[in-house]
Structure 1
């Protein structure tokens, strides 16, 4: 499998705002929560996360979204709900925006991310211990952008997702080497990146 992903070329028909969820209970507890079994129902926003989203909305400096798609994990759903309520929009749950699955590392302390990222740097196709490969995350995330470009035009679309998938998406769309996705500055909780 290639270490690069074909970069999206040409002008996009839509504007995309990439948002990482606010600080979550998983962040607060220092846990890796990446499985749908645990992430859909539990580990929503922490009090800090709710404050982050409220602050972001009070100082909103981006275009107003016309559509919001979000990972169906609780932390991303709660983030998207707060934004949707602020702008009077409906939500669209999109499983392709889910957290990267970290396999056997599920429920471990978040210090173990570094072991996975070290393997990523050697091989973006690795599936060590059932971890979802970087290349697979890139494919599902960029596939969503391609689909949105085919079916929509002139919209500002807010995509609410997770740190690792968003960094992988940005790396892929820039045509960067996927094994270097962690060389990007980490996306802060409740941050917006204009695509």
Structure 2
């Protein structure tokens, strides 16, 4: 399993949600308003992916002698929501992701899709989520379930902590924010996940 560093107190895994109806229809659904509608929920195949991922994670925990004390705890964190790509992309074809990635993210993660979130906007709220999880738990194995883009950016941040265990900042929030440099954030696509894919991060 992945090992923690001195920067973080827990081990982290990520899981991208199962295949959704928008995935099957080839649509971009990134707003909270649309994303919570029943017509954009998980597809039947996505529900199956989620069940299989849960079974796989339980197997990993058992193989590594990681107990689930008092049952697994589940917490909803709004900061882990999907990246909002803006009204220009909402409900448009998934083919337009190419424009976001190649024209914006890879060239400059600080560029903003019109009306949407930049990569560093998402990184800032993910940093808050990490700080919250680190304050709530210690010595635990945490599974973060979210959408593709947030999980890619989260992995970029967490992997940066492996290479940067020393910092001039004392508080965790500032240390993580300092790692959210364009050179790191522009590489987030390297951490792409398939729907229903489970991965150890740190």
Tell me if both proteins adopt one fold, taking TM over 0.5 as the criterion: yes
Counterpart of 2:82 in structure 1 is 99
Return 36-45 or 173-182, whichever deviates more: 173-182
Conservation of the 8 A alpha-carbon contact between 1:34 and 1:99:
yes
Offset, 1:144: 1.0
Counterpart of 2:119 in structure 1 is 134
Task: State the alpha-carbon separation in 1 of the partners of residues 5 and 185 from structure 2.
Answer: 17
TM-score between the two structures when normalised by the length of structure 2: 0.74
**RMSD across aligned positions (CA):** 2.4
Structure 2, gaps ≥5 residues long: 161-182
Conservation of the 8 A alpha-carbon contact between 1:65 and 1:156:
no
Q: 2:101 aligns with which of 104, 117, 134?
A: 117
Structure 1 residue ranges (4+ consecutive) displaced by more than 6 angstroms after TM superposition: none
Conservation of the 8 A alpha-carbon contact between 2:53 and 2:198:
no
Task: State the alpha-carbon separation in 1 of the partners of residues 131 and 73 from structure 2.
Answer: 22
Identify if the C-alpha distance between structure 1 residues 88 and 23 changes in structure 2 by more than 3 Å, giving closer, same or farther.
farther
Structure 1, gaps ≥5 residues long: 1-7, 68-86
Identify if the C-alpha distance between structure 1 residues 193 and 65 changes in structure 2 by more than 3 Å, giving closer, same or farther.
farther
1:10 paired with 2:10, answer no
1:38 paired with 2:44, answer no
Q: 1:189 aligns with which of 178, 183, 195?
A: 195
Identify if the C-alpha distance between structure 1 residues 168 and 62 changes in structure 2 by more than 3 Å, giving closer, same or farther.
same
Offset, 1:65: 8.3
Counterpart of 1:172 in structure 2 is 157
Task: State the alpha-carbon separation in 2 of the partners of residues 136 and 62 from structure 1.
Answer: 33
Task: State the alpha-carbon separation in 1 of the partners of residues 142 and 29 from structure 2.
Answer: 26
